Amino acid sequence: MGSGYFGTDGIRGLTNQAPMTAAVAMRVGMAAGKYFLRGSHKHRVVVGKDTRLSGYMLENAMVAGFTAVGMDVVQVGPMPTPAVALLTRSMRADLGVMISASHNPYMDNGIKLFGPDGYKLSDSDEAAIGALIDGEVPLAQPQDIGRARRIEDARGRYIHAVKASLPEHIRLDGLKIAIDCANGAAYNSSPTALWELGAEVVAVGVAPNGRNINDKCGSTHPQLLQETVVSSGADIGIALDGDADRLIIVDEHGHIIDGDQIMAVIGIAWHRTGRLRGGGVVATVMSNLGLERCLAAEGLRLERTKVGDRYVLDAMRQGGYNVGGEQSGHMILADHATTGDGTMAALQLLAAMIDAGKCASEFLRQFEPVPQLLRNIVYRRGDKPLDAAAVKAAIAEGEARLADNGRLVIRTSGTEPKIRVMAEGDDAALVEQVVADICGVVEEASK
Q: What angle do CA 327, 331, 333 make, to 5 degrees?
A: 145
Summarize pLDDT for 231-254 with one digit per residue, the tens: 999 999 999 999 999 999 999 999
Domain boundary among 363, 387, 421: 363
Give yes or no: residues 36 and 147 share one domain. yes
User: With the C-alpha atoms ordered 369, 370, 376, 381, is the resulting torsion angle positive or negative?
Assistant: negative
The closest alpha carbon to 197, from 347, 352, 80, 355, belongs to 347
Domain check: are 344 and 405 in the same one? no
Q: 40 and 62, same structural domain?
A: yes
Strands ordered across the beta sheet of 72-78: 11-14, 108-114, 95-99, 44-49, 72-78, 148-150
User: Could you tell me if 332 and 312 are in contact, meaning their C-beta atoms sit under 8 angstroms apart?
Assistant: yes
What is the distance between the alpha carbons of residues 49 and 35, in angstroms, rounded to a whole number?
21
The H or E element containing residue 122 is none
Instruction: Check whether 3 has a pLDDT greater than 70.
Output: no
| Residues 282 and 189 both lie in one domain | no
Residues 346 and 421 in one domain: no
Look up 102 and say whether it is catalytic: yes
The answer to whether residue 157 sits within a structural domain is: no
**Pairing verdict, β 11-14 and 406-412:** unpaired
Q: Based on the domain organization, do 248 and 278 belong to the same domain?
A: no
7 forms bridges with which residues in the sheet?
Answer: 10
Is 111 part of a structural domain of the chain? Answer: yes
235 and 264 share one domain: no
> Residue 159 domain-assigned?
no
- Per-residue pLDDT, 4: 79
Regarding whether 263 and 229 lie in a shared domain, the answer is no
Single-letter amino acid code for the residue at 275: R
Separation of alpha carbons 98 and 115, rounded Å? 12
Q: What is the pLDDT of residues 360-419, one digit of tens each?
A: 999 999 999 999 999 999 888 778 889 999 999 999 999 999 988 899 999 988 767 889
Mean pLDDT over 111-122 rounds to: 95
Residues 6+ apart with CB under 8 A from 367: 261, 264, 290, 291, 293, 294
Q: Say whether pLDDT at 340 is over 70.
A: yes
Residue 262 belongs to domain with CATH number: 3.40.120.10
Residue 1: pLDDT over 70: no
Average pLDDT over residues 264-283: 98
What radius of gyration do the chain's Cα atoms show? Answer: 22
Based on the fold, state whether residues 250 and 262 are members of the same structural domain: no
Contact 213, 190 (CB under 8 A): no
Task: Determine the Cα angle at 89 with ends 323 and 180, to 5°.
Answer: 55
In this structure, are 137 and 9 located in the same domain? yes
Task: Say how far residue 173 (Cα) sits from the centre of its chain.
Answer: 29
- Candidates 102, 165, 328, 446; catalytic one: 102
Q: Is residue 416 part of a domain?
A: yes
Residues 131, 35 share a domain: yes
Counting every residue written for the chain, the total comes to: 447
The answer to whether 372 and 423 are in contact (CB under 8 A) is yes
In a domain, 140, yes or no: yes
**Structural domain includes residue 243:** yes
Looking at the domain assignment, is residue 163 inside a domain? no
Q: Residue 270: which domain range? A: 258-363
The pTM score is 0.92
Is 40 within a domain?
yes
Q: What pLDDT does residue 412 have? A: 87
pLDDT (average), residues 13-31 = 97
Query: What's the total number of domains in the chain?
Result: 4
